[in-house]
Amino acid sequence: MTTAKVDPRLSEAARPSAPTEVRPRRTLFQKFEAFVSRLSTRNNFWHKVCSLIWLPYAFRSGITMKRLDSTRFTAVLPFKRINRNWYNAMAGAALLGNSEVAAGMYLFSACGSEYIVVCKEMNYRFLRPCLGPAVYHVVNTENLQEKVAAGGEFNIMLEMEIRQQLKKRGKELRVGKCEITFHCTPKTMLAEKQNRKSA
C-alpha cells in the first residue's frame, strides 16, 4: 500500500486564512462632524460659532473657555444682564446650567472629537451670592487618560469650583462647588451598533 506525499506548501495555501478585523470606513458626514468637533475646541471664536448653531444658550450667556496649560482649564461666565437675576446677582440657573457647559467643554477637549459626551448626574452646592463674573475651575478628575487609552465607553466624574472674579487681579472668591458625572462613548462604537441593527 502506497501513500501519496502532499506538498506542505500546498496544504498551507489551502488552509483558510484567519479573518482580519476591518474597521468600517467613516462616512462623509462622520468626517465632517469630527472636523467641526475639533474646530469647536480650537479657540473661543470657533467655539462661539459652533455654540450659535448647536448651543444657543451657551452662546447667549457668553461663556468662554481658557486653557492655562496642558493640564489646567478654566471657563469664564460674564456678569451680563442675561445671566443676572432681579436683585442683580448671578442667577442660580445660569451658574448651574453653565456648569454642564464648562465641564463638557473641558472633557470634550481632553477626550477628543471621537467621543460623544453626555451628562448623567450633577450636584451643585451654592455657597454665597455671585456678584461678578464666574470662573469655573476643574479641580479634580478621575484617571481620564487611562480610561481613554483603555477604549470603550466609560463614566467619568469631575469636581469643579466656581469662583467670583474680583476687581483686584489675582483674587477670586469661591461661590459654589459642583460634582458632575459624564458618560463617554466612542463614535465608532455607536456606528457599529447602528450597523448591527440595520443588518
- 66-91, pLDDT tens digit by residue? 766 655 678 899 999 999 999 899 99
C-alpha 66: how far from its chain's center? 15
In this prediction, residue 13 carries a pLDDT of 46
- Beta bridge partners, 117, equal 184
Q: What is the distance between the alpha carbons of residues 60 and 35, in angstroms, rounded to a whole number?
A: 24
Give the Cβ contact number of residue 18 at 10 Å: 5
Question: pLDDT per residue over 130-155, tens digit each?
Answer: 999 999 998 888 888 888 888 788 99
Q: 48: buried, middle or exposed (CB in 10 Å: 19+, 13-18, 0-12)?
A: middle
pTM for the whole thing?
0.70
**Which of 57-61, 75-79, 178-182 is least confident?**
57-61
CATH number assigned to the domain with residue range 64-198, chosen from the 4 options 3.10.129.10, 3.40.50.300, 3.30.565.10, 3.10.20.90: 3.10.129.10
DSSP one-letter code for 18: P
In this prediction, residue 145 carries a pLDDT of 82
